[in-house]
Structure formats: C-alpha cells, structure tokens
Structure 1
C-alpha cells in the first residue's frame, strides 16, 4: 500500500544531496518490488538520513520492516508518518497490519477502525476490522458492520469468510454456515471446512459435519485438531471402525489431546483392551480432572478391574451432580450388587427405568 503513495518530492532541480535521497528512494522501491527487503530497508534508511522529511521513503520503510517481521520498528516509522500526515489512510492501514501481525489486537483494531471511518465502503479495511473484532470477542459488531457491505460483494471470499465466522461465533450458525461452506468450496480451504464442520458437530448435524471435516482432511490432513473433530463426527454416527484411526492420527499429532485420549480410551475399554485403555483414560483424567465423561470412563475401568468401592464413589458423585444423567445410574446398579448392597442396586434399576421412559417419551436427539 505504501508503494502507491504519492511521492513527497518534486521533479524540479534540487540540491545534490536531495537528488541523492531520491536515488536511494527509487532503489528502495525497486528492491521492495523484487521482495529484497533487506536491500530496500537499507536504501530507505539512507534516503532518510539525507532527507528525514521524505515521507514516501519513511512510509515504504515501515511497510518493508513489517514485511520483514520487524513489527516494532515498522510501527515506529508508520507513527512518524502519521504525525506529519494523520489523514494518510494507506499508512494507517499499514500501521494496523503491523499491530495485527505483532498480535496487538487492541491497537490494530483502533487503526482499522480509523480507516473504516474514513472509508466506510472500503471492503478490505472492513474485513480487517472484522478480523480484529472477532479476535477481541466482538463478533456481533463484526457481523453488524459487514452484513450491509455484502450486497454486490458476494464473490469476495475474504469478506464472506469473516462474515461467516462472525455469524457462527455470534450464535447465528444458520446464516453463517452456508457462507462458510461456500468459501470452503470456492477456495478449497481446509480452515473453512474445519470451522463449518466443527459448528455442525456442535449442532449435532453429524452427517454434514463428517462431510466437511473429511473434506478438510483431504485438503490438509495435519490441520491442528482436525482428526479429533473428524473422529467425533464418525463416532456420533456409530462408525467406530472409521473413528478409531482418526483418533489415532490425532494422538500422533498431539499425544496429550484430551478428546482423542478420552474417545480412543473409551473405545479400547469397550473392546475390553484394558492394557491400551488404561493409560489413555488416566491421561484424559489427568488433563481434565473435573470432566464428567473422563470420570465416568475411569469409574467403568475401575469396575472392570474389581475396584468396586472406588468406582461407586465416583459414580455417586456424578449422579449427585446430575441426577438425570442416565449412564452413571446404569453403571451403579450392578456395582451395588457386587458390593452386597441389593437395596441400592434395586433403587438404581428403578431410576434407570424412569429415566429411560422419559427419554423414550422425549424422542431421540437430533442426528
């Protein structure tokens, strides 16, 4: 953007030193256009050493420093330019980008907001402002700002992606998901497929979630967390055979993945492979000691290995916290009988029958 700024120098005759500054400026521009950032930075600094007021050299220096990852230095140069020309939206946009790349979302947001205020129809500036809104947990503001700009820009996939993300994050998945899946198909983006697949998984739309997540795997199999989500979608559809290798891939990428350890450990437990199930379930519980599901599976493991009293204690705590959760009651009934507590066992059987009757009346959950 800085390269498009109007030159701050005239084509009239100048003292030799100023002409030399112009020469360095031109060398810097040529180097920057060829992505030789070190040479460009050096040339711009030489130009500014001769003429500190050469605004184009300073603006370009800021852009080159940012591209080279020297964000603090870029911010310093952009700030100097804006002190002289506060209305320069191109440099303010560069300043926002430097803050964004540095991870300073507050200052990036302020810069992009200023550009958006000056150029409210500038889609690129609005998209960047929307990104920072999302990063700052202001998805509703991003959605409200971007929605009016969508008309006529439906083919702008950057706009559609940020708007879709903001809508999904703001609880408006019905509107956001079609947009995100449009972006995923148009750009073949594993990231977009992952977001839509995850959202559909949370909505219990398991078939659609699996389709999106499998598409993401085909594009970018090592995307962080992807195999874990894909495994959950497959497991929810009852396809344990396909879910198991997905969780195994997840653990290759991150051996301390809580969900992968929990799900795969549970599968091993159901297969009565206690040797493989035990370390996975123990790690899952270590990672999230208060997880009800991790505690339930450990209680089942304890029951299978004869630790009835320990299993009963955990299950009693779970039913106390959530009396309507069916699974702990199911597990408790036989354990009470093994602990020679037949009255408690019969009570749990009665509770199970009552809860199952309620569930049958309510109907199956959405699949």
Structure 2
C-alpha cells in the first residue's frame, strides 16, 4: 500500500475544524430560530388576550435568552394585564439596566407604577420624562393625574393650563384639568371643561360629575339633565341615580328619593352615600329595622363613616337601646369634637340615663359650639360630594 497520497494530519485537523464550525453555526441558527418561534408564540398569546400563557412562554424564553430586552418588556406587559404590578415593575427595571435610554421602557415603567396605585413613584418617573419632553401632552396629563391623586391640585393645574390652548380638543387633558379646577374651588371653570368632555366624549362619568357640580351650584335642572344623560349612556351609573335621589329629596319627594337610592344600590351595592341616605329616609318614615340594616351595611363598607354611625345611634335611641346609642355617639364626638349634632344627642341621653354631670358637660359643649357657629355664620350647604380622585 502506498502512503504517498494519504492526507496529512494538518489537513485532517483543518477539515475537522471546518466541519465542527459548520455544525456550531447550524446549531446557533437552530437556537435563534427556536427563540424567534418561542417569541412569536408568546406574542400571539398576548395579542389573543391569553396573558397567563404569554407569561409562561416569555419566562421560558428568557431562561434561555436573558439578553432579549423586547421579550422582557413584553413579559412585563403581560404581567401588568394580570394585575401583577410588582413583578412587572421588576421586569421593566431589569430591561432598563440593559437599555437605560429606552424611552418606551421608562414610560411603561411609570405607567405600571400608576396602574399599581403608587402615584408618588409614578409622579417621580413621569416627572423625569416630562422634564425632557415638556410639550408632550400625554406625559403632562398623566403627571397631572398623579398630582391630583396626591392632592397636589395646584401643581396639576399649573401643568395643564399652559398646554390647553394648543390642545383644545384633547379630552383627557380637559377631564383632568376640569377635575383639578373643581377641587381647587373653581367649580364653574372646572364645570365648563367637564361638560365639554361629557358632550364631546359621550362619557357617563363626566355627566355624573357635571351633575354633582350643577347641584352644588343649585342649578337643579341642569343637574337632573346631566344625571339622566349619564344613565342613558350607562344604566349602571350609580352616582347619577344618587344625584337624582338627592334632587327628589330637595323637592320633598321622599318616596321618589328612596326609589332612586335603591336604583343606585342596585347599580353599585357598595355606594356608601346611597346606603346611608336611604337609611335616613327609612328612619324618617319610622322603618327602624330597615334603617338599622342600611346603616349596618354601610358601616361594613366603611367603619369610619361618622355620619352613618351617628344615624345608627339615632335608630338605637328610638329603639331604646340607649347604652349602645351612647357608645356610638361618644365615638362620634371623640373623632370629631367640633361636630354639633352628636353632642346634642349625647347630652340628652346622659340626662335620660341619670348621668347629670356628663349631661352638664355635654350641654356646655353644645352651648359653646352654637355660640361659635353664630359668630362665624352658617356653613355653606353641601348638596353633594365629589367623586374620589381619578
């Protein structure tokens, strides 16, 4: 046998190396193809609204490819849609470590904080973005919304007023600015903007708020008109029924008011004001057991509602549960020492229960509070309560 034409060891090594590189490249191509397929499947699951499946697939993908920032951002989006805000925020923060200048990531992180209800953190993050983009109306509106939640009403107004003229048709801006002006005791200025949002945006929530403000301004016809408009858009607009009930009450139609309060509670059983006011009507009609039930259910919603506790004490007195009534009234005056009606009821009960020293003490408090009230003049009437911050 001749060995002259056998390949050299160097040639064999070269060929083997080439083959190994070829296989390695093919393996890399396969891994990239697998990653793209997994990413596509996860994205499609997210688009279909199957966020739970998307989370599982994105997590699996990131175990193999932790460097994929887009996959991590989409994982965070899926987590937000599931209400798992802390996990989403952590994913956005990890993505930002890889791409600290990614404006979309910074925006979505701030939005996740907002959705979580961490308005302070959201305000700080939106504020940073706003500093770099002062004319970005979307960022300014979201930042103002955060300020409104944080009760920084003046800051919210200062953010949006300069942008309003150049964005007259931006209803999100008008809505936040309108609410801010109302809360800043400029009801007519705020109402103009809220009514604009209601009419142009056909928003039940805006009609509800406008109705409350009109009622506070004693423009009862417009209040009723906007409340009815809210109900036409959304038959479950509980606060609109509440407004109609209060309007019926002002006109002396107690039965009509009771019907509207019941509609409000059917639309939203957790409407504390409707439940308390319905209990007051039952008390006035001497339906004491019904009144007690409404007040107990209201206190289950908010144990710190002093008005409800006071009204429950009146029912307890009427049903001759005097000791319980005293305890509830004592809680009221402890929480709000300047509130006159509980002191009047408490003074009377102390005398009925043969506790003259405590009765005399309460009587003196009543006389002092009445003198202060006469000195300062009557308090402005409250015809409705504004809804909570957005």
TM-score w.r.t. the length of structure 2 is: 0.64
- 1:39 to 1:63, Cα distance in 2 relative to 1, 3 A: same
Q: Is the 8 A contact 1:109 1:129 kept in 2?
A: yes
* Pairing partner for 2:80 from 56, 59, 66: 66
What is the match of residue 107 of structure 1?
A: 121
Please give the per-residue CA displacement for 1:23-51, whole angstroms capped at 9, x wherever unaligned.
43344334433434344334433442333
Contact map agreement 2:140 2:160 (CA 8 A) in 1: yes
1:64-143 matches, within 5 Å, as 64-143=78-157
Alpha-carbon distance in 2 for matches of 1:99, 1:106: 9
Question: CA–CA distance in 1 between the matches of 2:256 and 2:127?
Answer: 47
Residues 216, 382 of structure 2: 8 Å contact kept? no
CA contact (8 A) 2:197 2:206 kept: yes
Indicate conservation of the 8 Å contact 2:179/2:194, yes or no.
yes
* Matched-pair contact (CA < 8 Å) for 1:281–1:294: no
Q: What is the match of residue 349 of structure 1?
A: none
Give the CA deviation at 1:14: 9.9
Work out the CA distance in 1 between the residues paired with 2:38 and 2:277.
62
**Aligned counterparts of 1:196 and 1:187: Cα–Cα separation in 2:** 13
1:280 equivalent in alignment to 2:294: no
1:106-255 → structure 2 map (5 Å cutoff)? 106-240=120-254, 242-252=256-266
C-alpha change, 1:18 and 1:147, in structure 2 (3 Å) is: same
- The Cα of 1:79 is off from its aligned counterpart by 0.2
CA gap 1:239/1:154 in 2 versus in 1, 3 angstroms: farther
Distance change in 2, residues 1:39/1:251 (3 Å): closer
Aligned length: 313
Deviation of 1:91 (Å):
0.8
Q: Cα–Cα, structure 1 residues 322 and 294, in superposed 2: closer, same or farther, change >3 Å? A: closer
Larger CA Rg, structure 1 vs 2: 2
TM-score by length of structure 1 reads 0.68
User: How far 1:284 moved relative to its partner?
Assistant: 4.8
Give 1:75 deviation, angstroms.
Answer: 0.9
Shift of 1:190: 1.7
User: Residues 139 and 14 of structure 1: is their aligned pair in 2 closer, same or farther, counting only changes over 3 Å?
Assistant: farther
